[in-house]
């Protein structure tokens, strides 16, 4: 068998690895180990090296990194520790440690997008994980990388602080979904994308009624499968470190499966389509009793979210919103209006 591409997805919580073929299909099972903490380059590289030793043959490497990378070098690593990583020549180092194989490095949300987008129109990708990754594609071509994750969305709180995994665990599923609805409305105002893909580990926790024509749920494996499109593209650009197009080199478009709001309840298992985007069926089922448009999104989640015993010491978005003496459950959040005719979800409630 022709050697494949070693695909590596470096996350703030987990390191994932597999070998894929030129079309992004996995040739072996995905391996996942927890990201070492603290995570200086040496510790992370050692972990990757031992994972790679268990992989079948490969002749190229594609690496997705959770921060800004340019020309093979790390510029920021917010969920690992930028102080430890800034300036690190990760692309070169990985190649050196993995039998000198040619290596390409790209931001993780960019890599997910390469696997998910259809190649038509303006497509926006948001990854919901430890951090909030974003990427934008025009007719399949990756646009310059933007760190929306570190842009304020509410008061001075960034997308990462407002929607990231730490905050999701703290505020619970229902409120996290409301915040996501608000973020989607903002993305709509900002980019007017033809299509939005939600992916990453927390995409399975999305309970919103989504416009099935415009908002799709993608598989988390896209973070690895995008390595194929990364290698189809040629050259290097100034923005993400790699010129990448989801449809260079004859790669067939990823077929997206709709996140269908009106679908009937189905067995709770993940259905995988012929393409890379999938809809967890459990999720489609939940949407069956979603409210009509222009009604607040009714959350079908019955269990109240567990609150961690200890509150994080860092000030959170809610704390900043609260008035002195106000109830914790009633943040003074304003509802954001979305442009007419372009609503992506049911109305967002309070943040």
User: Where on the chain is the footprint of ligand BGC (CB under 6 A)?
Assistant: 66-68, 78-79, 107-109, 127, 129, 131-133, 147, 149-150, 160
Residue closer to ligand BGC by CB (options 150, 282) is 150
Name 101's Cβ contacts closer than 8 Å, sequence gap at least 6: 6, 58, 59, 60, 61, 95
Q: Output the smallest distance, CB 77 to ligand BGC, in A.
A: 8
Give the up-direction half-sphere exposure of residue 225: CA atoms within 13 A in the CB hemisphere: 25
> Nearest Cα to 91, choosing from 107, 115, 113?
107
Q: Output the smallest distance, CB 181 to ligand BGC, in A.
A: 20
Q: Output the smallest distance, CB 132 to ligand BGC, in A.
A: 6
Q: Output the smallest distance, CB 166 to ligand BGC, in A.
A: 11
Residue closer to ligand BGC by CB (options 14, 285) is 14
Residue closer to ligand BGC by CB (options 67, 349) is 67
Residue closer to ligand BGC by CB (options 239, 286) is 239
Residue closer to ligand BGC by CB (options 39, 284) is 39
Residue closer to ligand BGC by CB (options 70, 101) is 70
How many whole angstroms from its chain centre is CA 94? Answer: 23
Name 42's Cβ contacts closer than 8 Å, sequence gap at least 6: none
Q: Output the smallest distance, CB 331 to ligand BGC, in A.
A: 23
Report the alpha-carbon distance of residue 4 to residue 269 in Å, rounded.
29
Residue closer to ligand BGC by CB (options 241, 349) is 241
Residue closer to ligand BGC by CB (options 133, 280) is 133
How many whole angstroms from its chain centre is CA 83? Answer: 23
Judge contact between 170 and 316, C-beta under 8 A: yes
Q: Output the smallest distance, CB 47 to ligand BGC, in A.
A: 17
Q: Output the smallest distance, CB 145 to ligand BGC, in A.
A: 8
How big is the chain by its Cα radius of gyration, in Å? Answer: 20
Q: What single DSSP character describes residue 237?
A: -
The residue whose Cβ lies closest to ligand BGC is 131
Name 196's Cβ contacts closer than 8 Å, sequence gap at least 6: 123, 124, 125, 126, 184, 187, 188, 214, 215, 216, 344
Q: Output the smallest distance, CB 240 to ligand BGC, in A.
A: 10
Q: Output the smallest distance, CB 133 to ligand BGC, in A.
A: 3
Q: Which residues of 290-323 are buried (b: 16+ CB within 10 A; e: fewer)?
A: beeeeeebebeeeeeeeeeeeeeeeebbbeebbe
3-class DSSP state of 91: helix
Report the alpha-carbon distance of residue 253 to residue 223 in Å, rounded.
16
Residue closer to ligand BGC by CB (options 132, 153) is 132
């Amino acid at each position: 068998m022709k050697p494949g591409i070693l695909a590596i997805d470096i996350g703030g919580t987990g390191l994932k690895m597999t070998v894929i073929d030129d079309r992004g299909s996995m040739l072996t099972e995905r391996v996942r180990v927890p990201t070492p903490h603290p995570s200086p380059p040496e510790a992370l590289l050692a972990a990757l090296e031992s994972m790679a030793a268990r992989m079948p043959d490969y002749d190229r490497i594609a690496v997705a990194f959770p921060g800004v990378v340019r020309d093979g070098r790390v510029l920021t690593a917010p969920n690992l520790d930028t102080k430890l990583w800034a300036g690190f020549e990760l692309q070169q180092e990985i190649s050196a440690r993995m039998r000198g194989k040619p290596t390409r490095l790209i931001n993780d949300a960019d890599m997910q997008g390469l696997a998910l987008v259809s190649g038509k129109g303006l497509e926006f990708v948001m990854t919901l994980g430890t951090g909030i990754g974003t990427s934008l594609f025009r007719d399949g071509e990756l646009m310059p990388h933007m760190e929306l994750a570190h842009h304020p969305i509410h008061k001075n709180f960034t997308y990462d602080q407002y929607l990231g995994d730490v905050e999701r665990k703290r505020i619970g599923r229902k409120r996290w979904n409301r915040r996501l609805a608000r973020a989607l409305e903002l993305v709509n105002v900002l980019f007017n994308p033809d299509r939005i893909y939600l992916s990453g580990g927390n995409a399975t926790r999305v309970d919103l009624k989504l416009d099935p024509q415009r908002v799709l749920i993608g598989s988390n494996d896209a973070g690895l499968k995008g390595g194929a499109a990364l290698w189809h593209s040629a050259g290097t650009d100034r923005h993400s470190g790699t010129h990448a197009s989801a449809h260079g080199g004859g790669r067939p478009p990823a077929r997206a499966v709709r996140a269908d709001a009106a679908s009937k309840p189905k067995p709770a298992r993940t259905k995988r389509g012929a393409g890379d985007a999938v809809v967890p069926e459990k999720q489609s089922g939940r949407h069956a009793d979603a409210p009509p448009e222009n009604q607040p999104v009714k959350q079908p989640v019955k269990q109240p979210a567990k609150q961690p015993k200890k509150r994080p010491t860092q000030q959170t978005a809610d704390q900043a919103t609260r008035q002195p003496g106000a109830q914790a459950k009633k943040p003074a959040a304003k509802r954001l209006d979305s442009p007419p005719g372009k609503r992506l979800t049911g109305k967002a409630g309070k943040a």
